[in-house]
Chains A and B, each alone.
Chain A
Amino acid sequence: MSIANALLHASDKPAGKRPYFLDPEVERVMTITMAIAQELAVARQRIDTLERLLEAKGVVPRAELESFTPSPEQYAERALWSQEYINRILRIVQQEGQAAEAGAKGDLPIPDVTQEIS
C-alpha cells in the first residue's frame, strides 16, 4: 500500500504551471539527466560504503582496490561488458546510421507498407 502510494505520488506535480527556462524538449532531457546524475552519485556513495566496510572488517584493504590489476581474462570480461554497455546506451546512434543504409536500399515508413499490403 505504502509502496504503491509512493510510486503514485512521490513525483507529484506541485500546484501551478511549471516554468521552462530552456527549450522545453531540452529542459525535459536535462531534467532526466540530472535525476540520473543523482542516482549515479548515490550508487558511487554506496560503493564507497561497501569498500570502507570491507576494509573495516579486514576483508579487502582499500589500497588493494586501487592497485588491483585484472588478469588478461578478467580484463577481457570487463572490456566486453563495457562494449555491451556502450552499444546499449548508444543504440540510437547505431540505428540512425543503419537507417541511412536501409533508406538507400528502399526501407519504407511502416504506414507506407500498410498501404501497400492492404
Chain B
Amino acid sequence: MDGSDSSTQIARQGAAEAYDGPPDQRTGARHAVYPDLSHDEVERFNFLAQMNHHLATRVAPMVESTWDARVEPRFEAEHGRKPKDRTEARRALLADPVFKTWSALRRMTMEQRQEAGRWAAVRQSESLAAKVASLSDHGRLTLDPTVLVPRYVAAVDHHCMPGSYHTELFPGDVSGPASYDSGIHVTVGGRGGPYNDGIGRTMAAWIKETYPDFKPARILDLGVTTAHNTLPMALAFPETEVIGVDIGVPVLRYGAARAEALGVRNVRFLQADASNLSQFEDGSFDLVMTTMFLHELSLSSMDAIFREARRVLAPGGLMLNMEQPAYAGMPPFEQAIRDWDAHYNNEPFWTTLHSLNLDDHFVAAGFDRDKLVKKVFTAPAGPAGHTRIGMVFVGAET
C-alpha cells in the first residue's frame, strides 16, 4: 500500500479488474412478463446480493475458523470427545456469537430479499396479471382445479417465501413467481447466468455428452415452477415435447407466459401433483427430470413420485434429479453448516433428504440397481457457504 485511498487504487487498476462479486441485477435477461423494476428496486437486489456475497466470502470462513479455534475445543473440554454428529455440532455452534451473528444476518437478508421482490411485484400485480393473461392463451397451459396443494407445501413457505408457489392475492395474481423470478439474483449472486438457467443448461449439456444418441420424444419436468431450468432443456431438444408439472397455479401461469415471451414453443404446463400422474400412460416419457425439487417434498411423496416416474418412463429412458449432495461421509461441522437451511430457512425435508441413501429409494420405486446414475459437480464458493460440492445429478436409467 502506498497510503492512497482505495478509490484511487481502484481508479488506477480499473474497477472492473479489481471487482470480484455478483454482477449488476440489470444484466439479467428481461422478458415480456418480467416485473418492471425501478432504479431503487434494482439497487435493493444488488445490495442484498452483496450482503450474501459478504456473508459467504467474509463471514462464513470465520464461522469455520471459530469452530476450529474455540467451538470444537470447548465441546471437547466439556465432553472429553469431539462432536459425534451434526446435531451436536449445531448445538455447540449456537452457543457461539460468530455463528449466531452470521445466522441472524443470513436470516434477515433472506427476509429482506423476499420483501424487496414482493414490493416490486405486488405494487404492479394487476398489470403483471394482465400481461401474463395476454400471453398464456395458446393452449400451452392446462389447469386442474381438483389438484390439492399438499401439506408439505401448504404448511411451509419454502426458503421463507411468503405464500410459496401456490398463493394468489387475487384470481390471476402472479406476484409470487414474479418476485421469485426477479429475486433469484440475490440468492445465487448471478451465478446461474442471465436467465438463471445454469442448472438446466448444465443438465442438457451433460445428457448430450453422456448419452450422445439419446433422442427423447417426450420430457417430463416435475416441480417445474417458472421453468427456469426447463427452457434450456426444451431448447437443447427442439424436436422434443416437454411437459412441466406443478401444483402451484401462479408459477404455472407465469412459467407458461415466460416461455411464450421467450419464444420457446415445445413446452407445455400442467397443474398436477407429481405423486399421481394417472393422466399419463405407462412408458410415455423418455426423460423425467427435477431440479432442486426433491428437498422440498416429504418422504412419502418423494417415494410416490419416484414410483410414478418409473411407471411413465419408457425402456431406454432416464430419470435425472439435480440436488445438493448427501451428507454421508462429511464431517459433523460441514453437515451442520449445510443443514442450516433445514432449521432456519424453512426447508424441513432438507435434513431427511440429504441423510437418505437415495439409491435404495430408486430401487424400491422399481429402478434397477445396476442402472443407477450419479454425477458430482464441484463449484466455487456460493452464497450459502457450501464450498466443496456444487451439485449432484442422481437418478436411474430404464
B114 within 8 A of partner (CB)? yes
| Minimum distance in angstroms from B9 CB to a CB of chain A | 16
Contact code string B115-126 (vs A, CB < 8 Å = 1, else 0): 100110011111
Contact B43 A27 (CB under 8 A): no
In the complex, whether B343 has a CB less than 8 A from a CB of chain A is: yes
Cα–Cα distance between A41 and B100 once the two chains are bound (Å): 24
- Name the distance in Å between A88's Cβ and chain B's nearest Cβ: 23
Q: Is B225 interfacial (CB-CB < 8 Å)?
A: no
CB pair B123 A38 closer than 8 Å: no
Q: What is the CA–CA distance of A15 and B125 in the complex, to the nearest angstrom? A: 22
Q: Tell me the count of chain A residues lying within 8 A, CB to CB, of chain B.
A: 29
Contacts known (A31-B108, A35-B112); A22 close to B100, Cβ less than 8 A:
yes
CB A87 to nearest CB in B, in angstroms, measures 28
A34 is contacted by which of B100, B109, B122, B155 (Cβ under 8 Å)? B109
Cβ contacts under 8 Å, A35 to chain B: 112
B interface, size bucket: 35 or more
Report which of A15, A18, A46 forms a contact with B43, defined as CB distance below 8 A.
A46
Q: Kindly identify, within residues 28 to 60 of chain A, every residue whose CB is under 8 Å from any CB belonging to chain B.
A: 30-31, 34-35, 38, 41-42, 45-46, 49
Quick one: which of A13, A41, A46 contacts B162, CB cutoff 8 A?
A13
Q: Does B161 contact A (CB under 8 A)?
A: yes
Check if B346 sits within 8 Å of A15, measured CB to CB.
Answer: yes
| One of B39, B100, B114, B127 near A21 (C-beta < 8 A) | B100
- Point out the residues of chain A lying under 8 angstroms from B115, CB to CB: 10-11
Interface string of B316-356 (1 = CB under 8 A from A): 00000000000000000000000000011010000000000
Judge whether A34 and B162 touch: CB under 8 Å: no
- The CA of A14 and the CA of B115, in the complex, are separated in Å by 11
Q: How far is B105's CA from A22's CA once the two chains are assembled, in angstroms?
A: 11
Is there a chain B Cβ closer than 8 Å to A2's Cβ?
yes
Interface check B169, CB cutoff 8 A:
yes
Report the separation of the CA atoms of residues A9 and B163 in the bound assembly, to the nearest whole angstrom.
10
Judge whether A1 is part of the interface by a CB distance below 8 angstroms: yes
A16 contact from B44, B108, B156, Cβ within 8 A: B156
- Verify B103–A21 contact, CB threshold 8 A: yes
**Cβ contacts under 8 Å, B94 to chain A:** 21
Q: How far is the CA of A101 from the CA of B103 in the complex (A)?
A: 42
Given contacts A21-B107, A22-B104, contact A12 B44 (CB under 8 A): no
Contact of B39 among A1, A30, A49 (CB under 8 A): A49
Q: Determine the chain B residues whose CB is within 8 A of the CB of A31 once the complex forms.
A: 104, 108, 111
Q: Does B372 contact A (CB under 8 A)?
A: no
| Minimum distance in angstroms from A42 CB to a CB of chain B | 4
- Asked whether any CB of chain B lies closer than 8 Å to the CB of A114, the reply is no
Interface string of A61-100 (1 = CB under 8 A from B): 0000000000000000000000000000000000000000
**A5 CB within 8 Å of chain B:** yes
Contacts of B104 in A (CB 8 A): 20-22, 27, 30-31
A2 touches B123 (CB 8 A): yes
**Residues in chain B within 8 A of chain A (CB atoms):** 39-40, 43-44, 46-48, 50-51, 94, 99-101, 103-105, 107-109, 111-112, 114-115, 118-119, 122-127, 155-157, 160-164, 169, 343-344, 346
A11-B118, A15-B156, A19-B107 given; 18 more Cβ-contact pairs under 8 Å: A2-B122, A2-B124, A6-B122, A9-B162, A10-B118, A14-B161, A15-B162, A15-B346, A20-B104, A21-B101, A21-B104, A38-B48, A42-B43, A45-B39, A45-B43, A45-B46, A46-B43, A49-B39
Chain A contact residues, CB within 8 Å of chain B: 1-3, 5-6, 9-16, 18-22, 27, 30-31, 34-35, 38, 41-42, 45-46, 49
- 17 residue pairs A–B, Cβ–Cβ below 8 Å: A5-B123, A6-B123, A6-B125, A10-B122, A14-B160, A15-B164, A19-B107, A19-B343, A21-B101, A21-B104, A31-B108, A34-B105, A38-B48, A38-B112, A41-B47, A41-B50, A45-B43
Smallest CB-CB A-B distances: 4 pairs: A12-B162, A14-B157, A15-B157, A6-B123
